Structure 1
Amino acid sequence: MSGAVRIDCARGGEIVETVEVVPSSSSPYSLTVYRGESDGIIYPGDNLFACLLGFRRDIEREGLVACCQGARRNVTNSGMQAQMTGGRFVYTFDRETRTVNEETVDILASACPDEVVTVAEQRAAIFDFFGIRDRGGEGGET
């Protein structure tokens, strides 16, 4: 499960940068992200999906989205899955049939720019899928 992974970052549907991401293989979880020649930035979290959210929030300030499976609109983490895989794998869901699929995807695996969304858009899709009103957080009501 460990080892460096390359993730493309896109703006306006075009890939503009590729970063190297090194996930920790056990708790405490972190992603170390290398951009260009800079020293790595460490994103800690309770699991790797939470670490990825930190990285995504940072690059979104620059108008970028991460082109990885963990940034798709139709993925969701579950407590049990996060515990079993350290958050490296998440479930997909089908918005039309309102079902969570048994299929899991590696959050760091590549995705096309047209498949990924911002953290706020992903959060809104998850809340909508589960029929829950978002009372806070990214793009939510306060």
Structure 2
Amino acid sequence: MRAVVFDFLERAGWSAGQMFFATLLAGGTEISAGNVPWKYSGTLAIGAAVASVILTALQYLTKMTELTFWPDVVVRLAKTFLSSLAASIVAVGVFNVGTFDWGTALNLALLTTLGSLGKGLLARQPGKAANPSTLPPETYAAAVSGPTPAPPG
């Protein structure tokens, strides 16, 4: 159970961080140390973390956790894109499909997803079981496949 909690926290934390960073990148040259949109970036980051927890729970409930490296990366990218988009939608308060700034929301989701791809590729450790998680390989394996049974005797 501890490994699963760490898996949820790792995924939610990365989603929040990637969304926060993408929000700052999307601000372009208008962002400086004095006018960082802390509240907006923080709101989007929290929204992405919450959406990540929900999507990870769905992944666990559907038992789609024992994936090889590339399918796991693809699932993580899809979840990151969806959680980023959901965070942008939730951040506006009252959502109106006609007036919503889809361009900005999709740009943020794309930047966040690219960050997720980079993280997944950088987390891959040579000589170990390939996984896109930054958790120790043993913790990640315990989270997605359950604890390893003790040898008899």
TM-score bin, normalised by smaller chain: under 0.3
Larger radius of gyration: 2
Report the TM-score when normalising by structure 2. Answer: 0.24
Q: Comparing both structures, which one devotes a greater share of its residues to helix?
A: 2
Higher relative CO (CA 8 A, sep ≥ 6), structure 1 or 2? 2
Report the TM-score when normalising by structure 1. Answer: 0.25
